[in-house]
Amino acid sequence: MIIQRQLVATYDYDVREKSEPFHFRLEVHQCGEIYTGTVFRLERYRLPTTFPQDAEGVPIGIMDDALLYIKDEFIDDRDLSGATVESIVTCFSAKLQSIFYASNDAGH
């Protein structure tokens, strides 16, 4: 069976804390009457070259910093489904609040 989903919305989120900031992307897809969300995290990777090499087999290229969106496995997106795009956005925003700000609220 082939299932086709249409990408209907993309949202970028920046969570700025005292440490390094986190960047997330929420993609909302529609399949029939159901909307689902998928969460990605922006990561930086330093990619060393392997070719070309000099006579001793040492790479002679430069290091490259790459920004990649990877599927975020820390945030469970299995429950990001609903009847509207807004319901997905609201649910994801609540997840971010609970992950990054729940411990801050406990002491106040």
Tens digit of each residue's pLDDT (9 = 90 or more) over 68-106: 999 998 888 889 999 999 999 999 999 999 988 876 555
Between 1-5, 19-23, 37-41, 68-72, the lowest mean confidence (pLDDT) is in 19-23
Look at residue 1 and tell me if it is in a domain: no
- What residues pair up with 51 in beta bridges, in sequence order? none
In this prediction, residues 57-61 reach a mean pLDDT of 80
Provide the pLDDT for residue 108. 44
Question: Domain containing 29: what range?
Answer: 6-101
How many folded domains does the chain comprise? 1
* pTM, to two decimals: 0.78
Provide, rounded to the nearest whole percent, the portion of the chain with pLDDT above 90.
Answer: 56
The stretch 31-37 carries a mean pLDDT of 96
**How far is residue 3 from each of residues 6, 9, 33, 78, measured CA to CA in Å?**
10, 18, 13, 17
Structure confidence at residue 38 (pLDDT): 97
Residue 59 lies in a domain: yes
Would you say residue 92 lies in a domain? yes
Q: Is residue 85 part of a domain?
A: yes
Mean pLDDT across 20-33: 95
Residue at 106 is within a domain: no
Contact (CB, 8 A) for 26 and 13: yes
Average pLDDT, the chain: 88
Asked if residue 108 is part of any domain, the answer here is no
